[in-house]
Structure 1
Amino acid sequence: MSFDPMAAAVDWLDAYRAGGIERILAMYAEDAVVHCGCEGIKIITSKDSLRAYWVDRLWKRSASHLDNVQLSKDGTVIAYVTREGVVSALLTFNASGQIASLTCGPLN
């Protein structure tokens, strides 16, 4: 069976919406990098920092529903709604189908 990056992005959003921190963290590669521009620029590069980021994010910026998902030349772009507005996230995946990088920020 081949890897479907759009389905993986939707699975990521489903885990986010459900508040499933362990499920979310399991989706990331060991060397994953997160660039978040939602509340100033944050760059997360370690598992401990990634856990702290998601604990904070789930508490402050829960996601409600999917706005859009599409493939791009760089990965999968998924847009979702939070109480602050629409956020766009670019997910790239490694050969194992884990998230290698996440770049997110408010959709202007």
Structure 2
Amino acid sequence: MADDFDQVALVVDWLDACRNRDLATLLDLYADDAIAECRCGEAKVSEGRAGLESYWRPRLDAIAPTAFGLEEITPTADGVVLDYLSHEGAPVRIAFTFSRDAKILRTTCAPSGQALCREVAAVEGD
């Protein structure tokens, strides 16, 4: 899709914004019509800036000491897959896709070890 920007660097910026509890910077990394799908516990989908803010605000307000630790970043054909420690310090895998204007278009996360989608499962099989 978009290959005129560093997708991995954008994911690192996302991780830094989370670590720094910088909600405004975090939200600015997302496209206006972005979707975040969380499969950690009860499935939740948040859409648009307001939806993302209501999803992220409580998670950034109460983070564990090990929160947002980097485990692994893997570029894929569709974006980037990040293994990291959640706001609670639990291992999570999140898949990012991006818009052509270098914004996060969609994220899908689940506890590490669970397949996020067919594309991620295919990467794991390589």
* 1:105 aligned onto 2:115: no
Aligned counterpart, 1:92: 97
State percent identity of aligned pairs: 34
Shift of 1:53: 0.4
Which digits, 9 at most, give the CA deviation of each residue in 1:12-31, with x for residues without a partner? Answer: 01111110000000001011
Alignment match, 1:48: 50
Root-mean-square deviation (CA), in Å? 1.5
TM-score w.r.t. structure 1 length? 0.90
The number of residues matched between the two structures is: 107
More strand per residue:
1
Q: Is the 8 A contact 2:70 2:85 kept in 1?
A: yes
Between Structure 1 and Structure 2, whose CA radius of gyration is higher?
2
Q: What is the distance in 2 between the residues matched to 1:90 and 1:53?
A: 17
Shift of 1:47: 1.8
Distance 2:59 2:77 in 1: 27
Q: Matches of 2:24 and 2:53 in 1, distance apart?
A: 9
**Structure 1: any 5+ residue segments left out of the alignment?**
none
Gap change, CA 1:73 and 1:61, over 3 Å in 2: farther
**Higher normalized contact order (CA 8 Å, seq sep 6+, divided by chain length):** 1
Match of 2:22 in 1: 20
Is 2:84–2:93's contact at 8 Å kept on the other side of the alignment?
Answer: yes
Residue 7 of structure 1: aligned partner: 9
